[in-house]
Amino acid sequence: MLAVQNLSVNYRGIEALTGVSLTLQAGEWVGLIGPNGAGKSTLVKAILGLTPYRGKILLNGVSLRRQRRRVAYVPQRSQIDWDYPITAWNVVMMAQTMALGWGRSPDVKAKKIVSAALDRVEMLPFRNRPIGQLSGGQQQRIFLARALAQHPDLFLLDEPFSGIDKKTEAIMLSIFADLSGQGKTLLVCSHEWGEALNRYHRLLLLNRRVLANDTPQAVMTMDNIQQAYGENIQAAMHDQNVIPFAC
């Protein structure tokens, strides 16, 4: 359903991505893994049209630019301004406001959708809290709820497992499995290699270009990790639950 063809992104002379091609099928849950600076966020931003690129990005054969609403984005936590005075409820409602158009007040249907999304991430009791007063994991769940409330076909999640608690991880993994079972497509960025990656259908190992694109077992080999991470191998093993390598 998503096709990225020969994508390159250049930041003032620095080639962040070179000739990246990939396809994602409906219902696929795919990990985009690679070290810091590999270009994972850049790839996601190019798909969203947030950064200029060369190449083609198609959703069901049509340029993605005209179908932006069908793609939901959960940004990297470090890219969000947590001092912005907004409640959890209103963050999730943004998904509906975008659909209804600004200035229109939410109807009963929109409120039901927001309520269901907050409930799914187990955050309904926290709906009136300012987002800045929630823990890292709770904040991540609120942004996932916003994506759910958008009812998209494709989810792009940038480092959703970074700085979260075990409960949030379990909730997110269960939601990802549900979504892919419903035919939704997920692209999940991660710079760490955790055990949870074994639950993904496919992993794309990225470092400026696609180094591997296969099942988790085939991608998580010592050779691949060395090729992608070089001497920063420790960074990949940050997670205590690591490392189910097929050496």
Residues forming the site for ligand ADP (CB under 6 A)? 11, 14, 16, 34, 36-42
Indicate the residue among 17 and 179 with the shorter CB distance to ligand ADP. 17
- Partnered with residue 157 across adjacent β-strands are 74, 188
Q: Which residues contact 149 (CB under 8 A, 6 or more apart)?
A: 92, 93, 95, 96, 113, 114, 116, 117
Distance CA 232, CA 247 (A): 18
Backbone angles phi, psi at 5, to 5 degrees: -120, 115
Distance CA 68, CA 125 (A): 31
CA 146 distance to own-chain centroid: 13
241 binds, among ligand ADP, Mg ion, none (CB under 5 to 8 A by kind): none
Indicate the residue among 150 and 190 with the shorter CB distance to Mg ion. 190
Give alpha helix (H) positions in 25-122. 40-47, 88-100, 108-120
Residues at the interface with Mg ion (CB under 5 A): 40-41
37 binds, among Mg ion, ligand ADP, none (CB under 5 to 8 A by kind): ligand ADP
Indicate the residue among 90 and 207 with the shorter CB distance to ligand ADP. 207
Min. distance of Cβ 221 from ligand ADP in angstroms?
A: 20
Min. distance of Cβ 150 from ligand ADP in angstroms?
A: 22
Give the pair of three-digit tokens for residue 225: 């990790």
Min. distance of Cβ 37 from ligand ADP in angstroms?
A: 4
Min. distance of Cβ 156 from Mg ion in angstroms?
A: 12
152 binds, among ligand ADP, Mg ion, none (CB under 5 to 8 A by kind): none
149 binds, among Mg ion, ligand ADP, none (CB under 5 to 8 A by kind): none
Min. distance of Cβ 27 from ligand ADP in angstroms?
A: 25
Indicate the residue among 127 and 191 with the shorter CB distance to Mg ion. 191
Give the torsion sign (CA, 110, 113, 117, 122).
Answer: positive
11 binds, among Mg ion, ligand ADP, none (CB under 5 to 8 A by kind): ligand ADP
CA-based nearest residue to 169, from 205, 130, 197: 197
